[in-house]
Structures are given as structure tokens and as C-alpha cells.
Structure 1
């Protein structure tokens, strides 16, 4: 499996079909956790899965059809997909939503893609990143008011409702840091964490240094990404 070629194909397919994705933002239903899933989520997922059909022996972990990967299983390619991150933004007509893909071979990271298609912001493994110098700290929108009060200890804060957009911002230096002290799912964060490592940021998961390992999809992880 050529990871770079796969990620380029995914980006191209989403860009080509963006108008169709956006047209589906109003078609939504509630999941068991009371979050939305839209037909746009499922359409983006289908675009990615169609590309993966060309590959053999690939384990797929995706938010909209959760499959667990065990270390007891045969090693090989694992592709972790969040077809639309920030669905609440997406279905509300906001442009700050994203796509996240992280690829692993034998549980070692080999490539990732983050994209905010409606903003035409993309970042993948191997890209050169223009850096800004910011003092803004990004926070997760999943935090309660009490958790926000405990987390805020700095100059400026932003809560944007999309982990992918936040990750791109911290990697580019538009944020000094981005964190979720409450916890997020693996498909929300694996691509961003590994692209942050690639760009020499400090990355912690559950209060320990993160070094690029695969994170199982059966729990949530607290994390913090910060510039040195």
C-alpha cells in the first residue's frame, strides 16, 4: 500500500465531490450519544472506503462503523478514519469541519492526513508547514463550564468545535497549544497527534509523552499538544 498515494487520492476525491458533501449537511439523525451523523459523513466515508477497496489486507477503524483492532490480530495496515470531524459545525452551516485519516503498519504510524475541505486547508505527512507565532490556546468544545474554568490559564483562548481544525492550527503555530483534558476518541486525534510529532511539537496523551503508537478505539484519551 502506497500511503502517500492513498492520502492524495482521498484529498482529491473529497475536493472533487465537495459540493455533493455540502448538499447533504441538512440530512441528519441522532446517534445513541445524542451527537449528529449526517448523510455527508456517510458520503465522505464511502469515498474513502471506495479507494481502500483497491487495497487488500487493510483493517479499517472508522467512527461511523466502529471496528476494534486487537494486538492479538495479525499485523498489517490499519487505517483510522473520521469522515467528518465537527459534525455539529457541519450540519449547522459552519465551514469549520474536517476529515482525519491515520495509517499504521504493524501498529507503527506511516502517514496521516488532516483536511478542512470547505476552508481548503490540508496537511499530510511530508508537507512543509508555514509557521506562525501565536499565544492563543485552543480548547475542546466538549468541556463543561467548570472544566473550562480549570483549563484556562493563559492570554487568549479559542473553542472552534472541530478537532481537525484545532490540530491544523496548533501544528501551523496559529495556536500555542491545543488540549482536551476530558478525553477524545482515537479517530479524532491519531492523525493530528502524529503530524504534531512530525513537526516537532510536544505531545502528551494521558499525561505521558506520546511517541506515535497506535491507540485502541475502545476508550477516550486526554491529550495536549504544545509548541516548544
Structure 2
């Protein structure tokens, strides 16, 4: 019997994470891509190759969207697609900070059907299927807090140097509305934390990449949370901004994200 997509997503993510972990806290050569903070290592490339190999052994005809190398960069609207981020949180990875993950999501006709974020340096595995979201095999749900003054919210997806005023406005929006703030430098883990109830929300007004978001968005939704774009519409990979919350005070989380809009540059 063919392996199910939820099972394969986790197995492929674990296989890629093992490759990445072998390079963690070693003397890696670090390259830059679009800017000085957009970094990549050979561990990223090797991990992605391993994930793809595992997937294609079972589903050789499925499309692959991935951050590195020659994988597709946009998610096809139809068909079966795998979305891969071999190391989400590479800046943490190269600094020896253990907050990074190997992310794999399975999508069919634009809708996510399975997701896995394996965080080997933390010892955590987040997964989601058609039934729910799980942390280390135990079913989890979003936080049940309703008072925004008790919320902890995380800004996510980095703003370029010429957009730091938007970042500052986002931080101010969080500080003025909620009890506390965190920033982890790994969007997928932040989304997993919303799904598991460790955070009440995570926000950005920039246009995120699918490999940074799709798996974690599925986890939040399957755990009972809400994810929209900056306008409050249901989030998809074609939307700008990402606002994920436990759903109890989504408008307040959305308002914090919108603080950046006055400073936005095209």
C-alpha cells in the first residue's frame, strides 16, 4: 500500500533534518543570496535533496516547490505538490541557535493536506493531517486565552533594511496591545507555537514565501486557529501578509499587523 502523505511528510522532514543536524554547530561555509541576512549553506542544499529523494521514491510525478536550487518557487493551483524548506531559520542555524526546522507540506489542488516541521535541535516534531495538529505525537490546540493583555505575540518574516520602519511599527503595535512579545527568527516554528498554544499570534505585513508558511498555516488551522492576510481575508500563498491567531481576538492581532501599513513601501 502506498504511504500516505501525512506519513511521508513526516518521514521526509525527519530525513532532511538529520542531514541538517549533521552540519549544525560545525564549521560551515555561509553564502549570501538576496542580501546580507539572506544566507544559505550546503546543509540547506543537501537537506532539500534528501527530502526530495524520499518524496520522489513514493510519488515521483508530484511537483516540488522548495527554497533552494531548481525547485519550483510558486505553488501550482492544481495537482499534487510538495513544499519544502530544508532549514527554516538558517540565520539561527549558522549562529548555533537551535530554533530551526525542516519543513514539508503536501498540497492538493491548492489546499494543504499534510504538514510536518521537524526541529531536531529542540527535540520537537510538529505535524498536521486531516484530523488535527500534533506536537511529539500528542494532539494540541490553540490557546484558549481571550484577553489580549494576556497574549504573547510574535513578529515574523524579516523586513529588509529599507523596511525597518514597518518592523518598528509592527513591534509597537504588539507592545501597545498585548501582554508580551517574542521573536524567534523561524516562521514555521512560530506558527507551530500558535498551533500548540504557546503563542496567541504571529504577524507580518510582508508577502511571505510558501516554504516559510504553508506547513505552519495548516497546523494553526487544524488546531482551531485562524489565519488571514493583512486585509483579514483567508490566507493563501497568493495573499500579502500573514496574521495567525488563536481566533479569540483576531481583530486585535490583525490591527497590530496593520500598524506597518502606514510605512509600507512597494
TM-score range normalised by the length of the shorter chain: 0.7 to 0.9
Is the helix fraction higher in 1 or 2? 2
Q: 1:25, 1:49 → 2: CA distance?
A: 25
How far the C-alpha of 1:33 sits from its partner, in A, is 3.3
Structure 1 runs not aligned, ≥5 long: none
1:113 aligns with 2:128: no
Cα pair distance change 1:131/1:108, threshold 3 Å: closer
Equivalent runs, 1:2-21 vs 2, <5 Å: 2-14=4-16, 16-17=18-19, 19-21=21-23
How far the C-alpha of 1:107 sits from its partner, in A, is 2.2
Aligned to 2:47: 44
Equivalent runs, 1:165-180 vs 2, <5 Å: 165-180=189-204
Equivalent runs, 1:181-196 vs 2, <5 Å: 181-196=205-220
1:62 aligns with 2:66: yes
Q: For residues 10-30 of structure 1, give each alpha carbon's deviation from its aligned partner in whole angstroms, at most 9, with x where no partner exists.
A: 244245545423266622111
**SS in structure 2 of the partner of residue 221 of structure 1:** coil
Aligned to 2:185: 161
Is the strand fraction higher in 1 or 2? 1
Moved more, 188-197 or 102-111: 102-111
**SS in structure 1 of the partner of residue 198 of structure 2:** coil
Aligned to 2:258: none
Q: TM-score, normalised by structure 2?
A: 0.74
Bigger Cα Rg: 2
The answer to whether the 8 A contact 2:230-2:242 is kept is yes
Q: 2:206, 2:27 → 1: CA distance?
A: 27
How far the C-alpha of 1:106 sits from its partner, in A, is 2.3
The answer to whether the 8 A contact 2:9-2:105 is kept is no
RMSD: 2.4
Q: For residues 14-64 of structure 1, give each alpha carbon's deviation from its aligned partner in whole angstroms, at most 9, with x where no partner exists.
A: 455454232666221111333100111112101101102212211101011
1:222 aligns with 2:241: yes
Equivalent runs, 1:93-108 vs 2, <5 Å: 93-108=96-111
Cα pair distance change 1:81/1:12, threshold 3 Å: closer
Q: 1:39, 1:83 → 2: CA distance?
A: 11
Number of paired residues?
Answer: 220
Aligned to 2:80: 77
